[in-house]
Amino acid sequence: MTPGIETDEDERVRRLTDAEARALELFDAVMERGIVAAGVSERAASDAVRDLAAEMLGVDRFWHKRIVRAGPNTLHPYADNPPDRDIAADDIVFLDFGPVLEEWEADVGRTVVLGDDPHKHALADALQTVWDGARDHFVATPDITGEQLYAHVCGLAADAGWEFGGSIAGHLVGQFPHKQISGSEIDCYVAPGSREPMRRNDRAGLATHWILEVHLVDRDAQIGGFTEQLLDIGPNAR
């Protein structure tokens, strides 16, 4: 067993769900303070998220890059680094941040729409519908693999009238850094080629826990949206 790794499963679940709850509090505070607003650049908003996380939660590390993307930049998946853009008054904007809270990883993504454009609001509303449908399929399929869940999410997106915009639909999450104990690279993801059952123990003998993410896009309209949260534990699990 890797030194310092928590092995009590009830405690692991408590710490992961608590980390997510605190990250969602951070998102709420970001919106309340007007950090996402017309005229603010994506980079400035991301820096403000960093500063607020330090102020509110004592966070001084994020286990992946913070993302604030607006307008056409919302078409880009996580791995891309589009040019910085000022947020416009009628933009759709998504945020993705993964603070490390007392050595536990959180990973939350949310989408907001500035203005009244019905098409952008429809995309934002579809995110949770697709996420819920994927969660329900995960619950109903005990031996599902990451590859199978990815295919199902893409199908749900198409059925809802959108394109799935990401090369993955989720990943493992855990005690920082989770990759220290998670196993082979592709099996850390909800993605093509991930053929291990998602419900399994990692190479340290611990139960795996998962983030499910949904990235929907309309390339013609040059808009996208994103949401992610814990899949198998927490208030949204079934």
Q: Residue 3: its pLDDT value, please?
A: 55
Helix, strand and coil in the chain, % to nearest 5: 35, 20, 40
Kindly state the average pLDDT of the residues 142-158: 98
CA–CA distances in Å: residue 206 to residues 5, 129, 216 = 10, 31, 32
Largest CA distance in the chain: 53
Confidence of residue 66 (pLDDT cuts 50, 70, 90): confident
Percentage, residues of the chain above pLDDT 90: 79
Confidence of residue 78 (pLDDT cuts 50, 70, 90): confident
Look at 179 and 167; give whichever has higher pLDDT.
Answer: 167
Kindly state the average pLDDT of the residues 59-69: 78
**Residue 138 and residue 197: Cα distance in Å, rounded?**
11
Q: Residue 120: its pLDDT value, please?
A: 98
Confidence of residue 181 (pLDDT cuts 50, 70, 90): very low
**Residue 43 and residue 46: Cα distance in Å, rounded?**
5
Looking at every residue in the chain, the average pLDDT score rounds to: 92
**Of 77, 106, 71, which Cα lies nearest the Cα of 90?**
71
**Of 127, 108, 112, 135, which Cα lies nearest the Cα of 22?**
108
- List, for residues 86-104, the tens digit of each pLDDT value: 999 999 999 998 888 888 8
Q: Residue 63: its pLDDT value, please?
A: 56
Q: Residue 2: its pLDDT value, please?
A: 56
The fold for domain 9-230 equals Creatine Amidinohydrolase (3.90.230)
Where are the domains positioned within the chain? Answer: 9-230
230 has a pLDDT exceeding 70: yes
Range of lowest pLDDT (46-50, 121-125, 209-213): 46-50
Q: Residue 178: its pLDDT value, please?
A: 52
